[in-house]
Amino acid sequence: MVRIGLEKIFDKKYFKALKGKRVGLIVNPASVDPLFAHAADLFFECGDFNLTTLFGPQHGIRGETQDNMIEWEGFRDPGTGLPCFSLYGETREPSPDMLKNVDTLVFDVPDVGTRIYTFIWTMALAMRACSKGGKEFVVLDRPNPLGGAAVEGNVLDQEFASFVGLYPIPMRHGMTVGELARMFNAEFGIGCDLTVVTMDGWEREMMFPDTGLPWVMPSPNMPTFDTAVVYPGTVIFEGTNVSEGRGTTRPFELIGAPWVDPRALVKTLNEAGLPGVVFRPCHFQPTFHKHAGEICAGIQIHATYPTTFKPFVTALHLLSAIRAQDPDKFQWKQPPYEYEYKKLPIDVMLGTDAIRRCIEKGITVEKMEQGWGGRLEKFMKLRKKYILY
């Protein structure tokens, strides 16, 4: 079994780094050890750590908000009595006042290996705040559930930087949060006093089921490992009027809209010869979010071989095929999206407007891949400096 940073922080080697310090902790509901004990409780009960403050990212410390882009306010934690500050509300970066009783800020939030997932950007902004305030920053490393071998997608253009992509990394980055912290700190001018508590036993080829660790939802619409596998691709449907399955029991696996012809869609996708995936025509009725109460037609994505499945490329094929079925009914969603009020949400998510323009012109996904290949190769060379496993 993999031994995560949350377990190793209590080892003598790392324990002394926090002993006697005033500690702040960034956590969410999935910040648990293999026995499901929560990091906040473990730190609070440890007499040698002076846990003073809790912070939470999008969806909250205890999972307070169900949908995306729903802000939450700070409160006092009933379990520990500690102040809890929201990093998804009036501010995304801890303020000096929030950090006034903190010497060392610890980050222990699971990621799902996708650029658009906001937790890594909460980490980056917290690192920035610690750099400004002269605070130490500690990352308790956890597995990338998609493994650390495969990397996929275009590298973000800095012109499209936002809270779903502050720095130029690809959609599926193949790095752990600890590795990303090292890269962010050195390459993008943060320069905080950073410590990464590494894992034992994790190898880059491991996907989450290989780790022996329990899956706890890192966010309300990430219920299973299967969801995480497809998410780096199907999340882009948030930028359209096509349902990404929110309001169903299989978010991001079910994709559709009332006007879609599911059998024709499956035929088109099968002809693309995409690896590691089977498409099943289906109908579903979201209970909330897009098309709530309406019957949507579309597909369920079954990633039968997650190690060869390419979620981002698959989603671009799917998006192009759905749009081609009825360009008049298909629409790009309009701003705002994740604190961006001018650019189209799809461009913000993709980290460029080039892919949207290619789709509108009917350019093939294969040509799109060729277009981003050069920058992806450069990223692969850069990340070698920061990988830990």
Burial classification of residue 348, based on how many CB atoms lie within 10 Å of its CB (0-12 exposed, 13-18 middle, 19 or more buried):
buried
The pLDDT score that the predictor gives to residue 223 is 96
153 in the Ramachandran plot: left (φ > 0), alpha (ψ -120 to 50) or beta? left
User: For residues 328 and 103, what is the distance between their CA atoms, to the nearest angstrom?
Assistant: 56
**Which residues in the chain come in under a pLDDT of 50?**
none
Sign of the dihedral through C-alpha 194, 121, 376, 340? negative
SS3 128: helix
The pLDDT score that the predictor gives to residue 147 is 98
The pLDDT score that the predictor gives to residue 379 is 98
Q: Are residues 94 and 55 in contact, defined by beta-carbon separation less than 8 angstroms?
A: yes
Chain centroid to Cα 362, Å, comes to: 29
Q: Are residues 256 and 296 in contact, defined by beta-carbon separation less than 8 angstroms?
A: yes
User: For residues 64 and 67, what is the distance between their CA atoms, to the nearest angstrom?
Assistant: 10
Is the bond preceding 336 in cis, omega lying within 30 degrees of 0?
yes
The two three-digit tokens of residue 89, written as one number? 């509300």
Q: Are residues 85 and 56 in contact, defined by beta-carbon separation less than 8 angstroms?
A: yes
Q: Cβ neighbours of residue 217 under 8 Å, at least 6 residues apart?
A: 29, 30, 63, 223
User: For residues 157 and 170, what is the distance between their CA atoms, to the nearest angstrom?
Assistant: 10
The two three-digit tokens of residue 65, written as one number? 């908000």
The pLDDT score that the predictor gives to residue 66 is 57
Spell out the domains of the chain, with CATH numbers in brackets.
5-211 (3.40.50.12170), 225-352 (3.90.1150.140)
- The neighbouring-strand residues paired with 170 are 155
Q: Cβ neighbours of residue 224 under 8 Å, at least 6 residues apart?
A: 215
Strand residue runs (E) in 50-192: 50-56, 75-76, 83-86, 104-107, 136-140, 152-155, 170-172
CB atoms within 10 A of CB 5: 24
Q: Residue type for 290, please?
A: K
181: closest CA among 128, 139, 134?
139
User: For residues 141 and 4, what is the distance between their CA atoms, to the nearest angstrom?
Assistant: 6
